[in-house]
Each structure stands twice: as C-alpha cells, then as structure tokens.
C-alpha cells in the first residue's frame, strides 16, 4: 500500500476549509465539544460558514491559514484525506494552482 503525501502544505493552503458551506457537519459523538457556540450553526448541525468558508478558518487561503479550533475540530475534518486528487479538486475550484501532472 502506497501512502501519497499532500501536494501542498496545509498551513498555507486551507482550500478544504473554504470549499463547501455544508461541510463540516457535526455528526459524530463529541463533535462540537470545545468549539465556541458562535462557530456552530445549531440549526443545521454544522460549523458556521461565510459563503463556502468555515468561520473557524483564520488567515488567507493559499497564503497562510490555521484552524482556530484545530484541537476540537469535527471528526469529518480530522478524517479528510489530504491526497493530491482531493487537494487539487478544491484548489482548482478556488482558482489556486494545482499539482504538476
């Protein structure tokens, strides 16, 4: 089994956290624990977003970012696979450079 490495540094990218207003969902036990209520959309059971960007994402996508609730982020965020095909799909959607073919 070959494990692919991310093609971009997650601390400069952040595209996955600015890709979809309906992700990340809080669907597992403990999701939301330790996250300020101001960052949770209680009506939808998701993290609050502005546009398609998670409000827990701080910084400029593609330049320098961080998750302000990283230690308490939802399980779906923890399980995101930063593989080239996943990263490139969201980077392309945001108009950011993708991996070389």
pLDDT tens digits, residue range 33-87? 999 999 999 999 999 999 999 999 999 999 999 999 999 999 999 998 888 888 9
pLDDT over 70 (residue 101) = no
9 — pLDDT class (breaks 50, 70, 90): confident
What's 29-74 look like in SS3?
Answer: CCCCCCCCHHHEECCCCEECEECCEECCEEEECCCEEEECCHHHCC
The confidence score (pLDDT) of residue 2 equals: 46
pLDDT over 60 (residue 4) = no
Residue that has been written with the tokens 């595209």 in this structure: 15
pTM over 0.75: yes
């Amino acid at each position: 089994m070959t494990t692919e490495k991310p093609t971009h540094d997650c601390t400069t990218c952040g595209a996955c956290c600015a890709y979809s207003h309906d992700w990340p969902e809080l669907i597992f036990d403990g999701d939301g624990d330790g996250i300020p209520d101001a960052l949770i959309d209680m009506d939808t059971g998701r993290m609050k977003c502005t546009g398609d960007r998670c409000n827990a994402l701080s910084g400029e996508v593609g330049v320098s970012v961080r998750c302000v609730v990283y230690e308490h982020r939802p399980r779906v965020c923890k399980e995101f696979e930063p593989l080239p095909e996943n990263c490139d799909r969201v980077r392309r959607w945001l108009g950011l450079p993708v991996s070389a073919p």
